[in-house]
Amino acid sequence: MAILSSLSSATLCGASVFPKVLACSSEFSTNLSSPFESSKICLTSSFPASRHPKKISTWNLTRNVAPIQGIRCHAMQVETRECFTAGKKFQLSDVIEGQQFDREMLSAIFDVAREMEKIEKSSTQSELLKGYLMATLFYEPSTRTRLSFESAMKRLGGEVLTTENAREFSSAAKGETLEDTIRTVEGYSDIIVMRHFESGAARKAAATANIPVINAGDGPGEHPTQALLDVYTIQSEIGKLDGISVALVGDLANGRTVRSLAYLLAKFKDVKIYFVSPEIVKMKDDIKDYLTSNGVKWEESSNLMEVASKCDVVYQTRIQRERFGERLDLYEAARGKYIVDKDLLGVMQEKAIIMHPLPRLDEVS
């Protein structure tokens, strides 16, 4: 029995999906200590013509230059050809929701994540993103997500501009719109990582910005980088993603991590998802409809002990008090219903794992 914590959303996945239009091929990992010497990196630029010309080409970099869509000017030789190698690529403009990923892309991202692990464990400072600035714009409290993105950026040689409570300590407190804030911040940085209290805020920010935007959680909407890490963890620990059974437990109505995870699990074959939650925080119909339309089996249950005995993964979440507003009576009615304790461990399969996106309250003893 392995008890796991999904501690980081970015150390593995946030960094691996960093540039807005970066397409990574298998040639990426030739030499991590100096990754661009005689390496070919496929990039595209999708900025408006007023900022950057569009181009799809392979750049044969002749210097140790961090390649982010031509924002920095360096001498290089350009060789135009097909940009992708089938089965070993991904291309991203923004990271907004779980639905944007397909199975092939997930596989390619995980390949890069494994290379990122080598960088993280190395005693040598990487300069992969030297000269680039990441803005972490957080309107909600965060420990793991913000610090993991910032840690990833710094480990790759980049720099960070941070606002950890933008709701209170930014011009948002003066009534500035999100769009105007994004237009300002993009002038200072090369990428924006944003957490917001409103569902859909990340999509709005991405529509406004001309630089990449990564959704680090938008209210009760989604948390795609956490889900990337969760699926990566499941694959690493269980050894597969096809044919697994997963219990999503706790606050499923407001839990953005479980929503994004459900979207990603739907990309794999013969997956079954069990929803276990108090009645007032059941999984919303949009997720159920998505799973049904994609042929994914799902079932709602009130018996965690029974479900846990069938599952490869029990993904436990807290009841989120902050989503109940002034209705603390509803919060008190929902909390404490499902607890991971020794009795639950006793019914689980030998190789099953427990995961929690944190923070943990009393739902894991």
Active site residues: 144-145, 174, 195, 223
Contact between residue 229 and residue 57 where contact means Cβ atoms under 8 Å apart: no
| Alpha carbon distance 29, 35 (integer Å) | 7
Q: What's the chain's length in residues?
A: 365
Tokens read off for 261: 């995870």
First to last CA, the chain: 16
Cα dihedral sign, 80-81-82-83: negative
Contact between residue 214 and residue 94 where contact means Cβ atoms under 8 Å apart: yes
Contact between residue 195 and residue 139 where contact means Cβ atoms under 8 Å apart: yes
Nearest Cα neighbor of 194 from 172, 219, 217 is 217
Peptide bond preceding 357: is omega within 30 degrees of 0, i.e. cis?
no
The amino acid sitting at 8 is: S
Contact between residue 19 and residue 68 where contact means Cβ atoms under 8 Å apart: yes
* Degrees to nearest 5, angle at CA 16 with 30 and 354: 120
Instruction: Give Cα 218 distance to the centre of its chain.
Output: 12
Judge residue 201's burial from the number of C-beta atoms within 10 Å of its C-beta, 0-12 exposed, 13-18 middle, 19 or more buried. Answer: buried
| Alpha carbon distance 38, 128 (integer Å) | 14
DSSP string, 290-339: HHHHTT-EEEEES-HHHHHTT-SEEEE----GGGGTT-HHHHHHHTTSS-
Tokens read off for 337: 């219903």
